[in-house]
Amino acid sequence: MLEHHWGTYHPIQINIYGMMANLLISASRFNDARYLFQSSLECCFQVLGSNHKTTADVHADFGRLRVRMGDQSDALHHFKQSYVIYESYLGQNSLETAKSAL
């Protein structure tokens, strides 16, 4: 219904895909969740761009899934992408500063 009314790439679909993926992860259906995270990333790229904070969030979630699936190489790729975007939003060395404050 969402696709019919608002089109294939609507920002709310990013959240819906993420929620559905997390439900599938809890049911150990990792490949189905992977497909949804891929769809979510594609939606991010089309609507928000590759440097948006939401895109970073999806990369981080995707990275956590890939760790659970045993693909550390792909997980690292997603974590790096996420880090670069977060750093551009929060400033250089901001993650290290936050870590040292804890």
Reported as a single tens digit per residue, the pLDDT across 19-78 is 999 999 999 999 999 999 999 999 999 999 999 999 999 999 999 999 999 999 999 999
pTM: 0.83
Token pair for 56: 């970073």
Cβ(51)–Cβ(67) below 8 Å: no
Complete domains list, the chain, with CATH: 2-101 (1.25.40.10)
Residue 61 CB contacts under 8 Å (≥ 6 apart), including other chains: 18, 21, 22, 37
Q: Could you give the CA distance from residue 95 to residue 93 in angstroms, rounded to a whole number?
A: 6
CB-facing half-sphere around the CA of 24: CA atoms within 13 A: 19
Reported as a single tens digit per residue, the pLDDT across 72-86 is 999 999 999 999 998
